[in-house]
Amino acid sequence: MRIELSGEAAEYGRQASRAFEAAGGDRLVQLAEQEPGRRRELVEPILRELGMSDLEPRGDADDLEAAAALCRSAGYWAVPYPVAERLARPADLDCDGLVVVAGPAPAGPVAGLGLRWTTVTPDGARGRARVVASEVSARGSAFVTRLDVQPIDENGGGDVALGLVLPCWTLLGMLDRAMDLTRAHVLVREQFGRTLAEQQGVRFQLADAEVERGGVEALAAYALWSVQAGLPEALDDALVLRSAALEAAEAVFRTAHLLHGAIGFCDESALSWVSRYSRPIRRLPLGLSATRDRLTRRIGRHGLTGLYPGGTP
């Protein structure tokens, strides 16, 4: 088992982050929100330059790690494009991407792209989706829109784990950025004659948030390996990752906003954009309570396999 990305995948992620920064960085999401019709033209040339379409995360272990690194870099800059969903596209269907959906009102962050989408439920039911035009502005929806789904088959059991894991890598990138922005802020912001970073209470809060973020990083690597190895419990591991990522997101963004104060909710702050565009991942297809419930129902009393199978739960 390997719980670290290969050197090549890590370097690919760094190159992707530099490419997003050079193309505008934080301005990408701001421009996409101002002119939603340009969202595709703003981002797809960068992804083509990075060779995203050449990645085969379902068939090649190295490509799967590169895909995860790309998702993390996209999350770091809150890139306004469903990178994870594009990378999770099924191999046996003619479509552009995969959206995991749940509940009576399927939806995804796919508005205005003109792409062909396949959906899959946590139970493996696949469908062909028609994107329903949203009347909510991009600012209010973060490009989430309703999907009209026509059933295809029940053969999506192998699609669900990957469809859940890759967006968690995007969310991990957002947590990375939230922590970086908060560290930078407390190093320069002064209160009572000294920087916030010098206050012991602030240090404790940052340490707690970093523990949460680091835990997600470790679980993300493990869940990716589980998918990579084709383990029968890969979906269990994906649900564990999602549950932990959602819990960590609550803690990290709560701390980041608390230490930024009111400016953290203003457009002048990059934290505001990263936080707002993390919401679709945190709410779709399942929120924290629903994710925990599904995980509990799946594992029942036998517990998780983990690193040491065969033990008594």
SS3 letters for the chain?
Answer: CCCCCCHHHHHHHHHHHHHHHHCCCHHHHHHHHHCHHHHHHHHHHHHHHCCHHHCCCCCCHHHHHHHHHHHHHHHHCCCCCCHHHHHCCCCCCCCCEEEECCCCCCEECCCCCCCCEEEECCCCCEEEEEECCCCCCHHHHCCCEEEEEEEEECCCHHHHHHHHHHHHHHHHHHHHHHHHHHHHHHHHCEECCEEHHHCHHHHHHHHHHHHHHHHHHHHHHHHHHHHHCCCCCHHHHHHHHHHHHHHHHHHHHHHHHHHHHHHHHCCCCHHHHHHHHHHHHHHCCCCHHHHHHHHHHHHCCCCCCCCCCCCCC
**pLDDT band at residue 136, thresholds of 50, 70 and 90?**
confident
The string of pLDDT tens digits covering residues 2-41 is: 678 889 999 999 999 999 999 999 999 999 999 998 999 9
Q: Is the residue at 134 inside a domain?
A: no
Q: How many domains are there within the chain?
A: 1
pLDDT at 313: 41
Q: Is the residue at 228 inside a domain?
A: yes
Query: Tokens at residue 124, please?
Result: 């493996």
- How many C-beta neighbours within 10 Å does residue 65 have? 25
pLDDT at 103: 87
Q: Is the residue at 263 inside a domain?
A: yes
Q: Is the residue at 231 inside a domain?
A: yes
The string of pLDDT tens digits covering residues 55-103 is: 999 988 999 999 999 999 999 999 999 999 999 999 889 999 999 999 8
Query: Tokens at residue 179, please?
Result: 């922590």
Query: What's the rounded Cα separation, in Å, for the pair 113 and 95?
Result: 13
Q: What percent of the chain has pLDDT over 90?
A: 75
Q: Is the residue at 178 inside a domain?
A: yes
- What's phi and psi for 120, nearest 5 deg? -145, 140
The string of pLDDT tens digits covering residues 165-184 is: 999 999 999 999 999 999 99
Q: Is the residue at 123 inside a domain?
A: no
pLDDT at 301: 62
Q: Which domain CATH number covers 179?
A: 1.20.140.10
Residue numbers of the domain that contains 195: 159-299
Q: Is the residue at 196 inside a domain?
A: yes
**pLDDT band at residue 311, thresholds of 50, 70 and 90?**
very low
Residue type, 9: A
Q: Is the residue at 23 inside a domain?
A: no
